[in-house]
Amino acid sequence: MKNRLFILGLGFALILSSCTVVRQGEVGVKRTIGKIHEKPLMEGARLFNPLVTTIIKLPTRTVNMEVRLPLPSKEGLTVQSEVSILYRLVGSYAPNIIEKLGTNYEQVVIIPVFRSAVADVSSQYFAKDMHTGQRAVIERDIKKLMESQLKDRGFIIESVLLKSIILPTGLAKAIEEKLEAEQDAQRMEFTLSKERQEATRRIIEAEGIRNSQKIIAEGLTPMLLRFKAIEAFNKLSTSPNTKVIITDGNQPLMVNPVEDK
């Protein structure tokens, strides 16, 4: 009875060890007695003989590999950087990758190609360009160069991101001073523009007042002035207050009488 249970347990263990599951985002490569099978294993449960066969699983989903390295610039400076490489493996190339590169393909081919591409591209730009809008252009150029060397090997480079750029101390300070000077110049230009607008407003206001006074002056004819004087005489004559009026017939001049003490 014990021997039978032992045999059943051993058989059950062998069945479990001879089955594996290739999950989504993975591809399997079968190797039997050292020979790589050309056809990759896609998602699902797979049976194999564990005594002579192994199943190697590789990720086909997007992988984020981060690398820290110095970037040479056009003027000969060294810029410290942290770069993310987003890539994925093409499942149909998995057997060929295992056969020629092994499972350590990142260290064998991706990083060396990346270092070479970075050196070729960054050396064409000044250090300050890596900290400005040129960064996107540098990322795109590195990606294109890597794609041209890795596409036929079964790798797709989705993106290269310069996440962190540390400029030399002297250059960083010079860039900050330049940015501050540009901001000061922009503020001064804004102030001057505002003053020019205010000056324009005052000129327009003065022209309006001048034109208004000119129109009024043109409208003050002798007849109108005489009419206004007559109106003033009439109003003064109806006033109950005692007053002395001296006039030349054109304009009245009122003199308050002196009260008796």
pLDDT, residue 10, reads 46
pLDDT, residue 53, reads 83
DSSP class per residue in 56-108:
EEEE-S-EEEEEEEEEE-TTS-EEEEEEEEEEEE-GGGHHHHHHHT-S-HIII
Predicted confidence band at 174 (pLDDT cuts at 50, 70, 90)? low
Of 159, 166, 132, nearest in space to 143 by CA: 159
**pTM value surpassing 0.75:** no
pLDDT band for 200, please (50, 70, 90 cuts): confident
CA distance 52 to 74: 55
**In angstroms, how far apart are the furthest CA atoms of the chain?**
153
Burial of 119 (0-12, 13-18, 19+ CB in 10 A): middle
Nearest to 75 by CA among 40, 127, 122, 35: 127
Q: Is residue 8 predicted with pLDDT exceeding 70?
A: no
Distance CA 208, CA 201 (A): 11
Q: What is the mean pLDDT of residues 155-165?
A: 89
Over residues 197-218, the mean pLDDT reads 81
Q: 261 pLDDT band (50/70/90 cuts)?
A: very low
Which tokens in the block code for residue 144? Answer: 């294109």
Structure confidence at residue 252 (pLDDT): 52
Region 217-238 average pLDDT: 67
- Sequence-distant (≥ 6) Cβ neighbours of residue 83 within 8 angstroms: 66, 67, 68, 69, 114, 118, 160, 161, 162, 163
Q: Which two tokens stand for residue 204?
A: 């327009």
Find the range with the poorest average confidence among 33-47, 83-97, 135-149. 33-47
Whether the predicted pLDDT of 110 surpasses 90:
yes
* 121 neighbors 182 (Cβ within 8 angstroms): no
Average pLDDT over residues 192-198: 86
Of the two residues 200 and 230, the one the predictor is more confident about is: 200
Structure-model confidence comparison of residues 12 and 62, the more confident one: 62
pLDDT for 233 equals 66
pLDDT at position 245 is: 60
